[in-house]
Amino acid sequence: MKQKREKTIINVWKKDLQAEFVRIISLHKNYNYISIDTEFPGVISKPIGNFTQTITQIYQQIRCNCNILKIIQLGMTLSNKDCELPTPSTWQFNFKFDIESDMYAEDSLSLLLNANLDFKEHKENGIDLDDFGELFFSSGLLMNPNICWITFHGAFDFGYLLKLISSEMLPETNDQFMHLISIFFRNFYDLKYMISGTYYVKKGLQEIADTLEISGIGPAHQAGSDSYLTMLTFFRLKANEMMNKNENNYSNKLFSLCKPLKQDNFNEQQLFN
């Protein structure tokens, strides 16, 4: 599996939005795998009480937070089916966000500040959500059966993307949410779902990438670098024989919102060697 790695992340602000979208559109026919990652201001609304969360409860938490909060960054990395990346390969869209007026969770803001996000720049030069949504909707990337979308624990990612596309609140039920995703994102994989049923489901993206000896680019905990790691990690897992034979079991499923995958007789050591 070849890996052509571009060491630069293209940071996109409002003045660059249209030009960089044109560049992505020009590439997507030859590089039709797109990994995504979002950075958002945390979780400020949680169910009250001590209970085991059901899929319904988990979705309602996702729905509530996506509805009242704003996305801060979106990372996109492009690849072809052989994990060959274009030059450049990774874009980081930086959205308008004002820490003086927009809501956020304190712990998440601290994490993003430690990852060197420039919130002054986000306030002054961030991308307008409606401008991005219009370009995204008309780009040819959505509702495209030839594109495969890759995420890691992607329920929030898709939630924020659906808000960008529609400028509407997320639907009331998980079934409606999954149906909308199936319309706009025809083919997708969630790495977290792929490894559900194994010990590694407890690990974060960076830990899994470290286990697989995959090197990232750019600052950790920013959307561009995490989308890059997501792409390379996906292809490493997909190249494994055990993953390939179970591919139909984990395509178009989201971790925490779909019935967990059973990994019968799964050799975890073999998977991560």
Q: What whole-number distance in Å separates Cα of residue 160 and Cα of residue 255? A: 16
**Per-residue pLDDT at 90:** 98
245-267: per-residue pLDDT in tens? 677 889 999 999 998 877 655 55
177-230: per-residue pLDDT in tens? 999 999 999 999 999 999 988 888 889 999 999 999 999 998 888 999 999 999
Q: What whole-number distance in Å separates Cα of residue 206 and Cα of residue 64? A: 27
Q: What whole-number distance in Å separates Cα of residue 158 and Cα of residue 151? A: 9
Q: Which residues contact 215 (CB under 8 A, 6 or more apart)?
A: none
The domain spans of the chain are 9-271
68-107: per-residue pLDDT in tens? 999 999 999 999 999 999 999 999 999 999 999 999 999 8
First and final CA of the chain: distance in angstroms?
15
**Per-residue pLDDT at 3:** 47
Say if domain 9-271 classifies as CATH 3.30.420.10.
Answer: yes
List strands edge to edge, sheet with 90-94. Answer: 9-12, 90-94, 73-79, 33-39, 148-151, 187-190
**Where are any strands of DSSP class E within the chain?**
9-12, 33-39, 73-79, 90-94, 148-151, 187-190
**Per-residue pLDDT at 76:** 99
Q: Could you tell me the sign of the dihedral formed by the alpha carbons of 223, 229, 231, 237, in that order?
A: negative
